[in-house]
């Protein structure tokens, strides 16, 4: 069975239909995490009109993130936050956007580092000379 590491603890990840899993069926749930047996269960087979959602793949991927976040909080010893569905769902929904923003910011940092390495720091368009004449700025070789 496929497993994921949650802070060093392996959790089995199972996908099934609501009809094949009593807990998914009885709770009309999209997923659940059983910390006692280290199991994350995600519904991957819905009725076509489930919650009137047009894209159940997006819903399933969000459910995977949601259950993983529950497990991360639990394995961190944050059992109160672990049970806070609002916080868990907020992280599950925002995580892809946060990761994308971090990636873009790190790429900007990498580009800045690369430019600094080759001495391509830019200075202001023009600087005033001591005689009051403007001269054109040139790239600087100075490092911070
Ligand atoms: Zn939850």
Residue range 44-84, pLDDT digits in tens: 887 777 777 888 889 999 999 999 999 999 999 999 999 99
Distance 60 CA to ligand 1 centre (A): 13
pLDDT digits (tens, 9 = 90+) for 9-30: 999 999 998 888 888 888 778 9
For residue 62, what are the domain limits? 3-116
Is position 68 within any domain? Answer: yes
Cβ atoms of 44 and 73 closer than 8 Å: no
Is position 122 within any domain? Answer: no
Distance 48 CA to ligand 1 centre (A): 23
Is position 42 within any domain? Answer: yes
pLDDT at 24: 86
Is position 140 within any domain? Answer: no
Is position 99 within any domain? Answer: yes
Distance 92 CA to ligand 1 centre (A): 10
pLDDT digits (tens, 9 = 90+) for 80-114: 999 999 999 999 999 999 999 999 999 999 999 98
Distance 90 CA to ligand 1 centre (A): 11
- The sheet with strand 39-45 has its strands ordered as 3-6, 9-17, 39-45, 31-34
3 state SS for the chain: CCEEEECCEEEEEEEEEHHHCHHHHHCCCCEEEECCCCEEEEEEECCCCHHHCCCHHHHHHHHHHHHHHHHHHHHCCCHHHHCCHHHHHHHHHHHHHHHHHHHHHHHHHHHHHHHHHCCCECCCCEEECCCCCEEECCCECCCC
Distance 110 CA to ligand 1 centre (A): 37
Distance 66 CA to ligand 1 centre (A): 6
Distance 100 CA to ligand 1 centre (A): 24
Distance 72 CA to ligand 1 centre (A): 12
Count: domains in the chain: 1
């Amino acid at each position: 069975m496929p497993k994921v590491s949650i802070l060093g603890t392996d959790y089995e990840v199972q996908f099934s239909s609501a009809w094949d899993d009593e807990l998914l069926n009885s709770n009309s749930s999209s997923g659940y995490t059983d910390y006692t047996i280290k199991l994350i269960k995600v519904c991957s087979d819905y009725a076509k009109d489930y919650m009137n959602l047009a894209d159940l793949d997006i819903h399933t991927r969000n459910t995977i993130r949601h259950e993983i976040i529950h497990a991360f909080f639990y394995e961190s010893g944050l059992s109160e936050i672990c049970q806070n569905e609002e916080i868990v769902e907020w992280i599950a929904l925002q995580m892809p956007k946060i990761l994308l923003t971090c990636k873009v910011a790190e790429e900007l940092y990498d580009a800045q580092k690369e430019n600094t390495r080759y001495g391509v720091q830019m200075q202001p368009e023009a600087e005033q000379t001591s005689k009051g004449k403007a001269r054109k700025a040139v790239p600087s070789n100075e490092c911070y």
